[in-house]
Chains A and B, each alone.
Chain A
Amino acid sequence: MPSERPTTTREFMLGEGAGTGAGSQNIHVGVGPAHPAMHGIIRIVTELDGEVIVNADVEIGYLHRAFEKECERGGWNNAIPFTDRLNYVSPLINNFGYCAAVEKLLGIQVTERCQYIRVIMAEISRICDHLTCIGASTMELGAFTVFLYMIKAREFLWELVEDVTGARLTISYGRVGGLRADLPAGFEERMRAAFKQVREVLEEVHRLLTGNRIFMDRLVGVGALSREETIGYAITGPLLRAVGVSYDVRRAQPYDVYDRMDFEVPTQTAGDNYARYLVRMAEMEQSMRIAEQALAEIPGGPINVDFQGQPLDPATYVDQGKQGKTEGLLLLPITLSPNLQGSERPAHARVNAPDKRVVLPPKETAYGSIEGLMNHFMLIMEGYGIRPPRGEAYFAVEGANGELGFYVVSDGGDRPYRVRCRPPCLPPMAALHRMVEGEMVADLIPTFGSVNMIGGELDR
């Protein structure tokens, strides 16, 4: 029943009975999804006692795009573009994680050069991710300079990614059994140049933030989670290492060639936002170390062109084949679309597993021989394609936010029966209410920033 008394402005804002002398009461404030720091995709309903958060309920799902359901629709390789859109700041790691899970199910081994390239590209992505996380969360605290510096550094790295994959974000570079293409010529120098710039930026940011009084006042002791709770909430990655547990999939259960790399797993003990910041800063340096080592050891070297003669265009090539002039045809180079740079036959053989049940033949073979064409056909046509044996496999890689796991189930058919992604930033979001309870409402923002929530991966 409506009361006689008109609703006051204060009541309208704070709830009925507020400010009427009815005694103090907690108020509920919804933060997001339209709040700029919530990236438009998270809603946190907080219960406040004054400025202190008593309770928080985190609502997710605003960016749910049915990743797992969509994967069941197409072939095994068709899921790769969807994995780009999980953690869209470090999509390469998602690509490789998914491919590795399917490869585990198929029981195939990728080439050594492919493993090295996967390591290099994954580490570049990890740096991008950490740069974005620290840049964005410090910007939310007002340190706009840091954001600009870090995005500048990320740009150098994304140019590298673009060089290799042809895209900045939706890269779709992994393939089951290998990679889309080999590294481009001159990659080594460009990577060294980019890392030099990134190191300068990290140095600058260290001088700006680490030990900065204002920054530390906002972060030290804020958003802390105990070691027991961090483990109980299955949190991995930088947040787990910030409580002193040195778990890193790259070290604990090495995949690709991480067991040959010399690197440290940085840890802190405090478990607060500042510890998370320090862990991420240290990890970027380690990632660059790994990428440099991998590049120094990578087998294969530059692309060797070991055939003679002028390249033919594909149509002429096919015509010659139809006329029966097949002698030496397979050795002739053909002009490929610039989009296929790095997928020429020698490069293709270096980065892809020699398994015709899984890997598409190089375009020269598909155009130039009936076997190649059949091979291509058998992998592309509906009802054919890659057919892993019946069964299931779980494979974990170290994503930028922690353990990124793919659990794939096959019924022996050409499309996945079930693909499950274990998103590394879901556990910290599930624990976010524990991090912010008892903190001031303003501390919600840096704590949320330190979690590095990536909507695509969280909501899938």
Chain B
Amino acid sequence: MDGAAILTLLGERFGRGILETHAQCGDHTAVVARGALPDVLRFCRDDPRLAFAVLMDLTAVDYRAYPGREDGPRFEVVYHLYSLGHNHRLRLKVPVGEDDATVPTAVALWPIANWFEREVWDMFGIRFEGHPDLRRLLMYEEFTGRPLRKDYPINRRQPLIGPKV
């Protein structure tokens, strides 16, 4: 199935759950409403025409400083899916506001989502609802702030804090 057909299929199946679709540089992308995300992900994995068995990557982007997008939802959680059987790819994006930065977890579908989501929580402070063990992944527990947010200054120094004696 080529990318355009995948986007059409998703659009027909989920209607208003798919906010927007586009293809840029050959990458096909569907912007998914947060409420529809669990169903879309499950459909992508289980439908034999799509069969996205691999969650290749899960990350987020902070659009706070992006020209023209200052007023929209601040974050986008980005899923890159790959199908081993059909050899096709798809990108899903979920816009999330700053005040309510939560997304349903995908751990039940792909176990790798556990670490990827921990990293996004660590770096962006986006909470994944239903995640079994949402700890920081790369930074240490005592670290304050979310380093990959655009309002985190790159030169801020924080002391390494050991266990309290």
Contact = CB atoms under 8 A, between A and B. Distances in A.
A247 B136 CA distance: 31
B80 A231 contact: no
B139 A231 contact: no
Query: Taking chain A's interface residues, is the majority helix, strand, or loop, or is none over half, making it mixed?
Result: mixed
Contacts of A203: none
B56 interface: yes
Given A104-B25, A394-B80, A234 B54 contact: yes
Contact of B138 (A252, A393, A422, A459): A459
Contact of B25 (A247, A393, A412, A431): A393
Nearest to A101: B25
Given A393-B24, A411-B67, A430-B112, A64 B139 contact: yes
A411 B68 CA distance: 9
Interface string B40-84: 000000000000011111010110011100000000001010001
Interface stretch (A66-74, A89-97, A343-351, A369-377): A66-74
A233 interface: yes
A64 B27 contact: no
A407 B57 CA distance: 9
B138 A61 contact: yes
Contacts of B59: 407, 420, 422
- The winner among B25, B61, B66 for most chain A CB atoms within 10 A is B25
B119 to A, nearest CB: 8
A392 interface: yes
Query: Taking chain B's interface residues, is the majority helix, strand, or loop, or is none over half, making it mixed?
Result: loop
Nearest to B118: A430
A233 B136 CA distance: 19
A73 B155 CA distance: 11
A407 B25 CA distance: 12
B26 interface: yes
A79 interface: no
A412 B111 contact: no
A231 B115 contact: no
B114 interface: yes
A232 B112 contact: yes
B158 to A, nearest CB: 12
Nearest to B57: A422
8 contacts: A60-B138, A232-B110, A236-B54, A392-B24, A393-B27, A411-B65, A422-B59, A429-B115
Interface of B: 24-27, 29, 53-57, 59, 61-62, 65-67, 78, 80, 84, 87, 89, 91, 110-112, 114-115, 123, 136-140, 147-148, 152, 154
Interface of A: 60-61, 64, 66, 68-70, 72-73, 104-105, 107, 229, 231-234, 236, 245, 247, 252-253, 391-394, 396, 403, 405, 407, 409, 411-412, 417-418, 420, 422, 426-427, 429-431, 459-460
9 nearest CB pairs, A to B: A61-B138, A430-B115, A234-B112, A422-B57, A393-B25, A64-B138, A420-B59, A233-B112, A232-B111
